[in-house]
Amino acid sequence: MEEQIAAYEQEPVIEGQIVFYGPSHYTRWSERFGMIPLQEALRGQSGAPCAVNRGFGSSCAEHQLYYYPRAVRPLKPKVLVYTFLANGPSFGYSPEESWELAQRVIAYAQMDFPGIHIYLVGAHPSRDITPEKVREHQEFAKRIEEFAENTANCSFINIMDYEQFFRKDIFVEDGIHYNQTGYDLYKDFYTEVLKDELKNY
Task: Determine the angle formed by the axes of helices 61-71 and 2-9, rounding to 10 degrees.
Answer: 20
pLDDT of 149: 98
Would the pTM count as exceeding 0.75?
A: yes
Rounded to 5 degrees, φ, ψ at 18 are -95, 115
Q: What is the dihedral of CA 177, 179, 184, 188, to 10 degrees?
A: -10
pLDDT of 89: 86
Query: What domains are defined for the chain?
Result: 2-195 (3.40.50.1110)
Give the residue among 200, 57, 80, 54 at the shortest CA–CA distance from 148: 80
Residues in the chain with pLDDT values less than 50? none
pLDDT of 130: 98
